[in-house]
Amino acid sequence: MVVSLVDALGVLDLAQLGVVVNTTVAQPLHAAFRITINKAHDQRHRHSPVPIPLSQKTRAKRCEERAVTCLKNECSVNFIFLDRSKSKTWRARGLPSPFKRDGQTDACLVQLDMDSCPLRTSVIGSYPFPGWLLFASTHLNQFGSHDIAELQDDATAIAVGDQLAAGLDVITDGEQTRFDFNLSFYGHLQGIELEPDSPRRFGPPAHDQRGKHKITGQITAPHGLGCVAEFERLKRVAAVFAPSVPAAPTLKVSVPGPFTMAGRLLPNAQYADRYAITEALLPLIRRELELLIESGVEEICVDEPSMSCYAYKSDTARFVDIFNRTVEPAYGKTRLCTHLCFGNYKGHAVGYRQYAPLFPAFLDLHVDEMHVEMASREYAELEVIAAIAERMDAAVGIIDVKSYFIEPVDFLAERVRQCLDHAPADRLVFTPDCGLSQTARWAAKQKLANMVEAVRSVRSNL
């Protein structure tokens, strides 16, 4: 059966590969599966296979060549079936993962992923905090470290539960544990000093109410940026829900890109401008991506909304270079996404809301999925998803996170069909415009539920 499935995909000629060492089957015909090709001695990779997304036939060919080469060098092959979906359509996903060490390619991983979700449903990282978490976050000095750990687990369980109830294919931890400076990315940096006060405390919300942090020395992150712990918590919490959901969702981790993260740090004599700060943060975020890959994360979103906000007045090729250098350790080793919105500071956009300035340069971003916000922009420039879908999956924001108009199911289904006029189903992902952290939870829940129902109704009629 394994051989016939793989042969049907035309990706790997198992007769040529010749070896199947391990086969673990969960639900053979209705499951995505992952092939891991490792050197026999490479226990680390054998037991921690990293899924490799593949979206192009050319990559499949390269993958086959790599796999054959790998096997000639006495590699082993593991098949791991992943119970992920009920869809009967299969699509090959995979990419050679040259785990280069000492200049040698010593392992090759391939993921053949069922096209479980033509029209996949996903979210951007954040989800509204429960009221009690916001209250607790202003009284943290009254909690002990174990109390705070419990708060984090409980809040994550709420975000996961709501997303699973909505029926999403991809979920996150809702960024529920980033409720305090010390638990945010900046709290993990050394060489900066927290801006303690809002420079403007009254009046309508705007970025100038959020102070910038001073840089006081060399910027380092000796203990990482906290994403691995977040991923481990998400896995632990999602596992509790596993028996009660029909299909395990993909777990996604969001990481800010260095240009976006640099926006809240003040330049100084050592770091002359935002680009200098970006270059200082870039290796720290690269390292975080490496750690996430080692921990087996299936999907990472590197958020760079500042790039989309500033593209109209910036060197877009320079942005692409920064982005690609950042994600280099993760590209081809997991499903890699980016989120390019125009800001959502307390429900307000902050950028020039046009995608035209980003393209065509941003088509060279090294990602498997590019997210654009469409709902709050009344689907202006929707045709941009056609160009995106020629290179990668296009994730389309169809939920307006800034509006309390709860998009009805029929309304959303029509928007999904509108997107299908521009891109094929297996290239489309549907999400809210941005993270839901600035949308009341009651509205976020209903919006997500309607989005999933709308996408499913269109999917069932494909």
- The one-letter amino acid code at 45 reads H
130 or 305: CB nearest Zn ion: 305
- The one-letter amino acid code at 219 reads I
Shortest Å, Cβ 346 to Zn ion: 13
Shortest Å, Cβ 342 to Zn ion: 8
CA 452 to CA 351: how far, in whole Å? 28
Shortest Å, Cβ 373 to Zn ion: 7
Burial 101-134 (b: 16+ CB within 10 A, else e): eeeebbbbbbbbbbbbbbbbbbbbbbbbbbeebe
Shortest Å, Cβ 343 to Zn ion: 7
Q: Let me know: does 174 contact 438? Beta carbons within 8 Å.
A: no
Shortest Å, Cβ 243 to Zn ion: 33
128 or 329: CB nearest Zn ion: 128
Rounded to an integer, what is the distance from CA 82 to the centroid of its chain? 19
99 or 342: CB nearest Zn ion: 342
Stretch 316-355 residues interacting with Zn ion (CB under 5 A): 341
108 or 301: CB nearest Zn ion: 301
Identify which of 173, 172, 192 has the alpha carbon closest to the alpha carbon of residue 181. Answer: 192
| 110 lies in the binding site for Zn ion (CB under 5 A) | no
Q: Let me know: does 268 contact 214? Beta carbons within 8 Å.
A: yes
Q: Let me know: does 319 contact 258? Beta carbons within 8 Å.
A: no
| 52 lies in the binding site for Zn ion (CB under 5 A) | no
348 or 441: CB nearest Zn ion: 348
46 or 252: CB nearest Zn ion: 252
The answer for residues whose C-beta is within 8 angstroms of residue 356's C-beta and 6 or more apart is 381, 384
Task: Single out the segment in contact with Zn ion by CB under 5 A; choices: 50-58, 177-185, 221-229, 434-442.
Answer: 434-442
Separation in Å, CA 264 to CA 146, 194, 201, 259, 260? 30, 10, 17, 10, 8
Shortest Å, Cβ 353 to Zn ion: 12
Task: Single out the segment in contact with Zn ion by CB under 5 A; choices: 158-166, 218-226, 239-247, 433-441.
Answer: 433-441
Q: How many CA atoms lie within 13 A of 144 on its CB side?
A: 2
Shortest Å, Cβ 167 to Zn ion: 22
| 157 lies in the binding site for Zn ion (CB under 5 A) | no
170 or 434: CB nearest Zn ion: 434
Shortest Å, Cβ 461 to Zn ion: 30
206, two tokens: 């705007």
11 or 337: CB nearest Zn ion: 337
Stretch 252-311 residues interacting with Zn ion (CB under 5 A): 305
Shortest Å, Cβ 338 to Zn ion: 11
Given 17, 434, 436, 448, the residue binding Zn ion (CB under 5 A): 434
What phi and psi values does residue 231 have, to the nearest 5 degrees? -65, -45
CA 33 to CA 92: how far, in whole Å? 10
Span between the terminal Cα atoms of the chain, in Å:
27
Q: Determine the size of the site formed for Zn ion (CB under 5 A).
A: 3
Task: Single out the segment in contact with Zn ion by CB under 5 A; choices: 104-112, 240-248, 267-275, 430-438.
Answer: 430-438
* Strand segments (E) across 275-355: 299-303, 335-340
Q: Which residue has the tokens 């959901």?
A: 245
305 or 329: CB nearest Zn ion: 305
Which residues lie near Zn ion (CB under 5 A)? 305, 341, 434
